[in-house]
A and B are shown apart, each in its own frame.
Chain A
Amino acid sequence: MSFLKIEDLHLNLGEFFLQEIFITLQQGDYLAVIGPTGAGKTLLLESIIGFWKPDRGRIHLVGKDITDELPEKRRIGIVYQDYVLLPHFTVYENIAYGLKKKEKEKKRIREKVNRMAAALQIDHLLHRTPTTLSGGEQQRVALARALIVEPKLLLMDEPLSALDPQTRREARSLLRKIISGSHTTVIHITHDLDDAWALANKVAIFKDGKMMQFGTLQDVFHCPTNRFVADFVGATLLEGKVEERKEGFTIIHVDDFFLVSLDESTIGESVRVAIRPENIVVCKSIPKDISAQNIIRAKVEEILSEGTTCVLCLKANHTAFSVFVANNAVERLDLKQNDAVYAVIKASNVRIV
């Protein structure tokens, strides 16, 4: 039995809408929902928690249809991007607020709040008011408030995006520790692919109110099924035709070169091939004595620096590739625009989608 099952969810609020959403999660799954602004990601969370009633479709949680259930009965927690702490309460009162509804004994409430605050390293802030806290502190208070009532499902709407890079790394690590310790099932909206890499085991990509792809992290990042998802997760997606099958390898004709893949397919079939930019190695001369099956001659079209890494935009005849390399590798190889290079890819990294 699936833990959360969303079937054919439709909701139209005019400017924002959702169409044909199907999601199935098992207990303990961590789903990252990724997509551009206005893709309907927040609407999805607010539909699951019950703030919007879907026009069509059903939502099942632990085998029970909760589509028509009131939000207060669903036991689903939510953490917003700007944390939405209640300003007329102290930090202690914010965390204890949900607990007071079901726990009447003050001593037990205090114990639980203290334990949760210690786990999230905010025990020294309990007497403070939310307006005096930093972004990172507010984020931990919001997380404590949602987790203390032991929700069946935790929804997070870009909880890390308002933090500076250092605090975000720390928060990510803390989140991983807390969530994996509590075995909570999570849906986490993010713009940042690093959040998905670091935390999620499942990914859903949204665009214009529709789900473009849903699957495991490996599936979505390594085998994007359409151009939008490929572009979004930074993979290269190529169109080709299967030429032959030989010794367990599939030989695919792409543009004016051949790619060798370990994935199975039928001869003559038109296929799409996905390659992750970090799975391509760049050499200035033809590498010898190498196990990789694919060596493609290409030209450097552009070199884009992204901090410690560089994105090389390569072109082999009419086919464009993106490759991630370290900044110092660009200097070491003395790579410049229009240089001829060889892109080396292992057959296992050429994925037929």
Chain B
Amino acid sequence: MGIRALRKISFFHLSFLSVTFFITLLLLLAIGSLFFVPSWEDVAQNIWSPEMRYSLRLSLITGFISTALVMLFALPIGYALSRFHFWGKGFVKTITDMPVAFPELVLGLCLLLVFGSTFVGDFLNSIGLNFVFTRKGVAAAQFFTALPYAIRIMKSTFDYIDPRMEFISRSLGYSQFETFFNVSLPLAKNGILASTVISFARCIGTFGTVLILAGGSYMKTEVLPITLYLNISYGNMGMALTSGIVLMVVSFLAIFIFEKTEVGF
């Protein structure tokens, strides 16, 4: 009986591990092909081409700006969703979560409509914020794509922090704002790091939303995924693969840091 039970456990382990290793191997082959198919001379040449330098520079600038803005909004929204009980909380949660399930193209279309000819778009235009087919639009598209992920991570981070730690701080004379900065933020530092890294990776990798809102204009609103797309369309595989490699390296670093901080959502 004991041996049969052991055999059953072994088979159980074996079958589940086989599936796990099969998919890991497949993904590894797919990722590896990106590094092994192109010639490295081509990659070195492409990475210094004016188009790639422009694309990389725009990706990094818009990525940093949109990530900073994402975190500026995700912190208070995540905290409010975690701590406060308010009317319409479920609705707010559904709406802020929705872009996670949205296809990026649909999100881009929605943003194009709202920033286009509505009163919101007109108002933003009047204060110099034109998001349609501009570089500002690239950052806006990245912001709205990454924000829901950052909110979810921040909400789950604050959920894990015992609210009584904040109670204690207030009972010792500190206001809610002081408590937020002295207690909540330092205790949420792992979550903040994870959220920032994931947001940055989402911002850099956003394609559909950027394409629809900011357009895929050569050397104008061209970020790395657009470079990949444009060059695939022209049949310039070298440039496409180079932008793919750069994107992959950024994503890998993001996931590595995310795993190290051990905060999931």
Contacts and interface: CB of A to CB of B under 8 A. Distances in A.
Interface of A: 46, 49-51, 70-72, 74-78, 80, 84, 86-88, 97-98, 101-102, 145-146, 149
B173 A84 contact: no
5 contacts: A71-B167, A72-B172, A77-B172, A86-B187, A97-B172
B243 to A, nearest CB: 41
Nearest to A80: B164
The 4 closest A-B pairs by CB, nearest first: A98-B172, A101-B173, A71-B170, A88-B186
Interface of A is mostly: mixed
Contacts of A78: 167-168, 171
B189 to A, nearest CB: 8
Contact of A101 (B162, B167, B174): B174
B177 to A, nearest CB: 11
A77 B183 contact: no
Contacts of A86: 165, 168-169, 183, 187
Nearest to B85: A13
Contact of B171 (A71, A87, A102): A71
B164 A72 contact: no
B187 A72 contact: no
A41 to B, nearest CB: 15
A50 B174 CA distance: 13
A97 B172 CA distance: 8
A49 B171 contact: yes
Contacts of B186: 88
A146 B162 CA distance: 18
Contacts of A98: 172-173
Nearest to B164: A84
Nearest to B167: A51
Given A84-B162, A88-B186, A88-B187, A149 B172 contact: yes
Interface of B: 162, 164-165, 167-175, 182-183, 186-187
A311 B182 CA distance: 52
Nearest to B171: A78
A162 B23 CA distance: 47
Contacts of B175: 70, 72
A49 B174 CA distance: 13
Find the residue from B165, B167, B171 having the highest chain A CB count within 10 A: B171
B170 A72 contact: yes
Given A86-B183, A88-B187, A149 B165 contact: no
Given A71-B167, A101-B174, 11 more contacts: A50-B170, A72-B173, A76-B171, A80-B164, A84-B165, A86-B168, A86-B169, A87-B187, A97-B172, A97-B182, A149-B173
A77 B165 contact: no
Contact of A77 (B164, B171, B187): B171
A50 B167 CA distance: 9
B165 A72 contact: no
Nearest to A74: B171
Contacts of B182: 97
B164 A145 contact: no
B116 to A, nearest CB: 45
Nearest to B186: A88
A93 B172 CA distance: 13
Contacts of B187: 86-88
Contacts of B173: 72, 75, 98, 101-102, 149
A97 B169 contact: yes
A43 to B, nearest CB: 13
Contacts of A77: 171-172
A102 B171 CA distance: 13
Contacts of A74: 171
Contacts of B172: 72, 77, 97-98, 101, 145, 149
A146 B168 CA distance: 9
Nearest to B173: A101
A46 B167 contact: yes
Contacts of A70: 170, 175
B176 to A, nearest CB: 8
A157 to B, nearest CB: 9
